[in-house]
Structure 1
């Protein structure tokens, strides 16, 4: 006896293939998948019906597609909540001082101040003060410093022209790689997508992830 309808086992094979993967990201795909399976069962050859293993496999695939859709919705919801929490945390930083990468020299009341970070303890730390053209105008020593974030004060006869600094360090004769940092004040925050950005008083916009510490 011939099959009652035109849907055959190739339809089932298609559902098992690439179309199933694409359907996982398509809302309502589980419902369409179920309709196709019902149509397949209704139009199968009565003398060669789909076996129980095939039916079980198709039902499992329907559950998988439906589960992925629900998981995608849950992840999107959590992403939105995470962005809101980031914004709330960022708002609490407004008006506070943060430490971020940068080599600007802060000059106040005739004293230059800078911050840096050492990845290991150093027995010799040297600071070079630069002008706007990048020329070294003075060099001084800080001596030994421990690993971590440190500050320095520079008290020359005149700070005229000083705009930035550079730090070098050694430990047992081996060169270290200090990171120049600046202390700045948070004026505002903004969020674009899942990215939280801080608007700093002197340094402009800085990603929240770049903050080394805050006080």
Structure 2
């Protein structure tokens, strides 16, 4: 009796192709694994690891993944894990910063601050102090005070000044020496430079009514009584 080799001429690929062993290396299979792992959300480290394992389980046994490529994928996984940890740390720092801002804000409510502006709510029963920013040496400068109706009530002569902040004090009286009503007044400081009238910046007192804390990490905003909002960074002085 003779025995005939019926497999001669057949390769291992031919045998596997005719057998029930199937490999799943199609793009559809990987896409299905991706949707299962991520749920259509951002790819996190757990989903990345699940996809890596799925890829290894479904790789072609005749063309296994290259060792270098596998090591590169592991390195990517380590980098992803490190970035995730860094994001968590930064989020924690941001949370602590917001809490610090809230504490800082609560201590400012009801306090007096000096900030750039041309209006101030003045209690004329007592003196008010402000400053004028002088850009350079000038022969003279004045501060004109007007009421809410635009009527001039007082002009304060600052005289000659050098560069810096020039302080002025208003006693709540008009040019005739009569007391005026308390309320909101406008302060306009001017000087003459090269025969040209130049407006100057005034720093005026105000009371912090409330504070607005940004939910996106922006700057703390102070809401001044009767004057609107101003950024904390613009405040020159914080008083009692």
TM (norm. structure 2) is 0.66
**Any idea what the Cα deviations from partners look like across 1:147-196, whole Å, max 9, x if unmatched?**
44443124522364882111123556677663222212345545352453
Matched residue, 2:201: 179
How do residues 42-57 of structure 1 correspond to structure 2 at under 5 angstroms? 42-57=57-72
Contact 2:134-2:162 at 8 Å conserved across structures: no
More strand by share: 1
- Say which is worse superposed, 155-164 or 33-42, in terms of deviation: 155-164
Measure the CA separation in 2 of the matches of 1:174 and 1:58: 70
| CA shift for structure 1 position 143 | 2.1
For 1:188 and 1:91, locate their aligned partners in 2 and report how far apart those are by CA, in whole Å.
8
State the match for 1:5 in structure 2.
23
Task: Specify the alignment match of 1:213 in structure 2.
Answer: 237
More deviation, 134-143/178-187: 134-143
Shift of 1:88: 2.1
- The CA deviation at 1:81 is 0.7
Question: How far apart are the structure 2 equivalents of 1:11 and 1:101?
Answer: 65
RMSD of the alignment, in Å?
A: 3.7
Q: Distance in 2 between matches of 1:64 and 1:58?
A: 10
Unaligned runs of 5+ in 1: 15-21
Aligned residue pair count: 205
Structure 2: where are the runs of 5+ without partners?
Answer: 1-12, 32-37
Mark the CA change 1:171 to 1:51 in structure 2 (over 3 Å): closer, same or farther. Answer: farther
Q: 1:37 to 1:212 in 2, by over 3 A?
A: same
TM norm structure 1: 0.72
2:101 corresponds to 1:100: no
Q: 1:17-28 alignment to 2 at 5 Å? A: 26=42
Moved more, 196-205 or 43-52: 196-205
| Structure exhibiting the larger radius of gyration computed from Cα positions | 2
Give 2:186's aligned residue. 164
